[in-house]
Structure 1
């Protein structure tokens, strides 16, 4: 796809204290979550109401700049059997169009079950339908980002090579 769509282990080489931004791309909204500077905890941030690509990306990149984000983790909505459907194609198209507009490294993260897990959590918390609708996208983004952060923390740092 492009040089800034990278494997997750690339994020091990990011500068210390650089945040990551998680995205849950929906047809009507983009849920955003932000990591802490230690890249251990994902927190729901906000939801961008989709208008059109240029407007959506301008809002996204403004937020990334505001929080000094060093990389993007974008949920990839695979089917339960791991196959790629229309939503994956839409996500890949979004990223293909985003790549020329930012130098930020981008990682795809399997988001299967994220919205379902978040919705179940909200139901268990007895959140109203309106409350669930207003927070589910940014919470799904946090779920996606947290999965990537947890995996990053389990990756061994590169071993120094001896000369």
Structure 2
């Protein structure tokens, strides 16, 4: 397993959940929920600040396909944000299948007796933890980084 801090990023329409790993890639933990800046790059700027603060070396962005594995408008939005983050941080960004991570996170909160509607920002972080932990576990099992690295100037559909 490569020794590097990794971030997991769950892109939503209003918020972006961010999680980080330890340098050994053993455990993903929640970090922050960043408000999505639909008019500018405030969310990218904040993620770049977090990357610098925690010396992250690789980023995983959730790739939200539908249950049939097809692209949706959310998929295209996540890819667009992933490209912005790659450009803004200068780091490798890998897309990782994140079907049902937010649903899983919300269910965990409901099972713990917490209101999902009042815990949205924490759920976004929990979804980022789930997708990052999935990436860490895949890399540990295969010996190779999980997902697909996004090319900043790659305009093809990544389905």
TM-score (norm 1): 0.82
Q: Using a 3 Å threshold, how does the CA distance of structure 1 residues 130 and 89 change in structure 2: closer, same or farther?
A: closer
Matched, 1:46 2:32: yes
Tell me which residue corresponds to 1:80.
67
1:26 to 12, 22, 46: 12
Distance 1:134 1:94 in 2: 18
Deviation of 1:131 (Å): 4.2
Deviation at 1:99, TM superposition (A): 3.0
Cα RMSD, aligned residues only: 1.5
Shift of 1:53: 3.7
Scaled by the length of structure 2, the TM-score of the pair is: 0.84
Equivalent residue for 1:124, pick from 102, 105, 111: 111
Within 2, Cα distance between the matches of 1:71 and 1:99? Answer: 10
Aligned match of 2:91 in 104, 114, 139? Answer: 104
What do the CA deviations read for 1:141-160 (whole angstroms, capped 9, x no partner)?
Answer: 00000000000110237xxx
SS, match of residue 94 in structure 1: helix
List runs of 5+ in structure 2 lacking aligned partners. 145-159
Task: Check conservation: 2:96, 2:135, Cα contact below 8 A.
Answer: yes
Match of 2:128 among 133, 137, 141: 141
Query: Larger radius of gyration, structure 1 or 2?
Result: 1
